[in-house]
Structure 1
Amino acid sequence: MDYLVSNITEILILVFIIITFLQSGLDKVFDWKGQISWLNGHFKDTFLGSMVPLLVGILIVFDILASVLAGVGIYQLAVHDIPTMALYGSITAAITLLMLLFGQRIAKDYAGAFTIVGYFIVVIWGVWLLSNH
């Protein structure tokens, strides 16, 4: 457990990723109809409008994958000081946020796009820390 303290910043960022992306993925799964309904309206005047269910499915996979990789990464960092899975989880989270940012920009929801920036800063900081581990 000596590695827990020496990797605390990375571990806290990974906990942030788990909370953020696991909740997001589960919300999409358990409120599929509500999510699809809202997003259909959000993207109705864009080229993404006809692809909403497919894109939500892809986001679910990325949300859950980022969370699982972050969870495994916490274990590997805390017990073995190995950053590989944590880095993969952080990269997956960053890619997910870029997909969301793209969608918000296409929908011309600039306020929504701006809120993603805060999440992205935390996640990309994690990518940087873990890639320089």
Structure 2
Amino acid sequence: MAQATPILILALLAVTFLQSGYDKIKDWKGNVEWLKSHFSQSILANQVPLALFTILILEIFSGVLCVSGIIELFGSPSSEVGLYGAVLSSITLIFLLFGQRIAKDYDGARTIVIYFIPAVMAVYLLS
């Protein structure tokens, strides 16, 4: 199967973002409380609910596009939807990285880069 690598990367991104989005929905209040503390000394201190909602929307759309891209790759030679999923996943990760850097959570930022590498690989493979 020629598309095994992009399918596996899209699956990784889909699981990552759909689980994260589900967690945000399931425990919205807990996430907001924790993030208010996390960003208390930053310019995002008063923007936590809006920022979290923005990330939630980006994660859900990224995950759904990645799943749709997997389905597309199984059904046709086209990879357009998967490419959109990989690009939006990369953008979402950049937003998350920005937040971690603003919060001066450099270990958290480093963790996001681990996810960013396969996301950019997917963009490359599906372009």
Residues in 2 aligned to 1:17 and 1:45: alpha-carbon distance in whole angstroms? 30
Residues in 2 aligned to 1:121 and 1:33: alpha-carbon distance in whole angstroms? 31
TM-score by length of 1: 0.94
Identity %: 47
User: Is there any run of 5+ residues in structure 1 with no aligned partner, and where?
Assistant: none
User: Is there any run of 5+ residues in structure 2 with no aligned partner, and where?
Assistant: none
State the number of aligned residues: 127
Instruction: Say what the alpha-carbon RMSD is for the aligned residues.
Output: 0.6
| Matching residue of 2:18 | 22
**Among 61, 67, 73, the residue aligned to 2:63:** 67
1:19-58 deviation line (CA, Å, top 9, x unaligned) = 1000011101111011000000000111101000001101
Residues in 2 aligned to 1:117 and 1:70: alpha-carbon distance in whole angstroms? 19
| Matching residue of 1:34 | 30
TM-score by length of 2: 0.98
Residues in 1 aligned to 2:95 and 2:44: alpha-carbon distance in whole angstroms? 12
Runs (4+) of structure 1 exceeding 2 A deviation are none
1:53-108 deviation line (CA, Å, top 9, x unaligned) = 00110111111101111111111111101110000000111011000100000010
**Among 71, 75, 82, the residue aligned to 1:86:** 82
Residues in 2 aligned to 1:23 and 1:121: alpha-carbon distance in whole angstroms? 19
